[in-house]
């Protein structure tokens, strides 16, 4: 069934809206005020984002990470995205690309899509991937990204060690010029596609309906729901560490906490060459997305004034859901719709953002392509950032990346790493990923002895000495 942007979920999700509303004092007044303020701010911000374009996306040199000023760090945090240049030497990244090319040529049975012109592979343990993930500079960049997060009181918590990076094994892509990829519209990770499609960054810390449904995860967004949306801090760890971001155990949904998703470039990739696009203001997009299910337009979509905040009100889209118990009948929030969230695989996926149901984001103009990167550069984006992939690749060369997120040490993450290590030792697919054949029959896969640096071995859950 084609995705229309709004799907009617089971009635309990209407009850959930009621419960959320009832748990915040003066929800009607405060949420409405916040909604109008967010829209007003978006109207300015979207103009600026569209005008600034790709070159406005933060770009820093790996060697300068520890010299960045407060203003540069604030920009990275606001955008939720950053290009870190020269994490590894160009020659090293180019060698990894050559090894991957050889690997897929030597092992034509390796699963990949599209089937008649494989570009995205169900491979996790090639030497290039294992070496790249374990590279001390890559892990140092991840540690730096992890430290953009903090606890509410600024103190240290035993629940997370931001200084010890862990390795989350994911896949790679070698995208060919001229081939359209149309399956990656604007979304926040947590959105999963069918297993034949597989886009590595669909493995999320974000969750879908869990943003509202899980009480701990919801805490991450409590200032937005309380109306004090300007106090929202997407870098606060407290709610994220224990959040249930995969309540339904769907495949293709990450069970670890990742501070940033990312990929390391193995080739040059410029705008229009099939690169990543982001909505570069994670504070505003979070505020808008979290409040959106509680509001409806009072004028027809596309009509004059459709975007005017005065023409939106707290309320439902459809008739009252049968069986709904209204905690507060004065709050007309009786629909079970959460725009952008839809059922999939026995659970829920999304948020997927569309111009139709998230009109104030002006997505046609504000999804900004990442500026040109070179081999050895990487792009990282916060787990809440709206992102998409350019459908066209108009370049002349492959656009190749290995997906490598930033993962701090937490008890849940460590437990995952230990299960992942067992799959590595058997050359099987990592636990979070679609089931399928392992890689033991393929020539050129890595083993534990290929992970040399102590920081890389620790990140993989391997004994420090080889
Ligand atoms: Fe994604």
Model confidence pLDDT, tens digit, residues 76-106: 999 999 999 999 999 999 999 999 999 999 9
3-state secondary structure (DSSP) of residue 448: helix
pLDDT of residue 248: 55
What is the whole-number distance in angstroms between the Cα of residue 162 and the centre of ligand 1? 23
Task: Label residues 440-460 b or e (16+ Cβ within 10 Å = b).
Answer: eebebbbeeeebeeebbbbbb
Residue 140 confidence (pLDDT) above 90: yes
What is the whole-number distance in angstroms between the Cα of residue 269 and the centre of ligand 1? 18
- The residues near 350 (Cβ < 8 Å, ≥ 6 apart) are 187, 188, 190, 191, 208, 209, 338, 340, 341, 342
3-state secondary structure (DSSP) of residue 120: strand
What is the whole-number distance in angstroms between the Cα of residue 402 and the centre of ligand 1? 14
3-state secondary structure (DSSP) of residue 168: coil
223: tokens are 């200032």
Residue 202 pLDDT class (50, 70, 90 cuts): very low
d(CA 28, CA 176): 51
Residue 192 pLDDT class (50, 70, 90 cuts): very low
Helices and strands (H and E) in the chain: how many: 14, 17
What is the whole-number distance in angstroms between the Cα of residue 36 and the centre of ligand 1? 28
What is the whole-number distance in angstroms between the Cα of residue 310 and the centre of ligand 1? 33
Domains by residue range for the chain, with CATH: 12-408 (2.60.120.330)
Among the listed ranges 3-12, 174-183, 380-389, which one has the minimum average pLDDT value?
3-12
When the pLDDT of each residue in the chain is averaged and rounded to a whole number, the result is 88
d(CA 318, CA 438): 47
Which of left, alpha, beta for 465 (phi over 0: left; psi -120 to 50: alpha)? beta
Q: Write the secondary structure of 36-103 as one string of H (helix), E (strand) and C (coil).
A: HHHHHHHHHHHHHHHHHCHHHCCEEEHHHHHHCCHHHHHHHHHHCEEEEECCCCHHHHHHHHHHHHHH
Model confidence pLDDT, tens digit, residues 233-268: 999 998 888 765 555 555 445 578 899 999 999 999
- The residues near 251 (Cβ < 8 Å, ≥ 6 apart) are 192, 195, 345, 432, 433, 434, 435
Question: C-alpha angle 430/142/75, rounded to 5°?
Answer: 130
Greater model confidence, 47 or 316: 47
Greater model confidence, 369 or 395: 369
What is the whole-number distance in angstroms between the Cα of residue 191 and the centre of ligand 1? 7
What is the whole-number distance in angstroms between the Cα of residue 22 and the centre of ligand 1? 33
Radius of gyration for the chain, computed over Cα atoms and rounded to the nearest angstrom? 22
Residue corresponding to tokens 């899509």: 113
What is the whole-number distance in angstroms between the Cα of residue 160 and the centre of ligand 1? 24
d(CA 188, CA 207): 9
């Amino acid at each position: 069934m084609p995705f229309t942007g709004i799907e009617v979920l089971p009635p309990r999700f209407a009850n959930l809206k009621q419960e959320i509303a009832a748990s915040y004092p003066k929800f009607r007044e405060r949420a409405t005020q916040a909604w109008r303020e967010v829209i007003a701010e978006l109207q300015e911000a979207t103009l600026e984002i569209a005008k600034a374009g790709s070159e406005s996306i933060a770009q820093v040199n790996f060697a300068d990470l520890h010299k960045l000023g407060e203003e540069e760090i604030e920009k990275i945090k606001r955008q939720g995205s950053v290009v870190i240049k020269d994490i590894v030497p160009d020659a090293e990244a180019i060698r990894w690309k050559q090894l991957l090319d050889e690997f897929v040529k030597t092992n034509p049975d390796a699963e990949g899509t599209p089937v008649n012109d494989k570009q995205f592979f169900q491979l996790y343990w090639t030497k290039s991937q294992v070496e790249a993930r374990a590279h001390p500079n890559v892990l140092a960049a991840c540690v730096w990204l992890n430290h953009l997060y903090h606890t509410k009181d600024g103190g240290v918590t035993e629940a997370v060690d931001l200084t010890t990076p862990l390795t989350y094994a994911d896949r790679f892509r070698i995208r060919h010029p001229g081939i359209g990829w149309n399956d990656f519209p604007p979304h926040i990770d947590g959105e999963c596609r069918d297993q034949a499609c597989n886009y590595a960054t669909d493995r999320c810390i974000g969750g879908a309906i869990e943003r509202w449904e899980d009480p701990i995860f919801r805490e991450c967004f409590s200032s937005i729901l309380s109306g004090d949306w300007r106090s929202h801090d997407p870098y606060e760890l407290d709610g994220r560490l224990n959040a249930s971001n995969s309540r339904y155990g769907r495949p293709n949904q990450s069970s670890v906490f990742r501070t940033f998703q990312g990929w390391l470039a193995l080739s040059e990739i410029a705008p229009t060459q099939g690169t990543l696009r982001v909505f570069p203001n994670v504070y505003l997009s979070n505020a808008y997305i979290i409040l959106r299910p509680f509001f409806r337009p009072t004028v027809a979509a596309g009509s004059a004034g459709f975007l005017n905040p005065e023409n939106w009100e707290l309320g439902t889209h459809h008739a009252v859901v049968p069986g709904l118990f209204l905690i507060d009948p004065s709050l007309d929030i009786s629909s079970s719709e959460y725009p952008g969230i839809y059922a999939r695989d026995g659970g829920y996926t999304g948020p997927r953002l569309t111009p139709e149901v998230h009109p104030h984001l002006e997505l046609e103009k504000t999804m900004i392509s990442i500026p040109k990167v070179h081999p050895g550069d990487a792009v990282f984006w916060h787990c809440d950032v709206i992102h998409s992939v350019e459908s066209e690749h108009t370049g002349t060369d492959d656009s190749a990346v290995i997906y490598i997120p930033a993962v701090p040490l937490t008890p849940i993450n460590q437990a995952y790493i230990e299960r992942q290590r067992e799959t590595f030792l058997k050359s099987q697919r990592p636990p979070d990923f679609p089931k399928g054949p392992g890689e033991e029959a393929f020539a050129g896969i890595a083993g534990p002895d290929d992970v040399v640096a102590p920081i890389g071995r620790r990140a993989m859950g391997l004994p420090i000495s080889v």
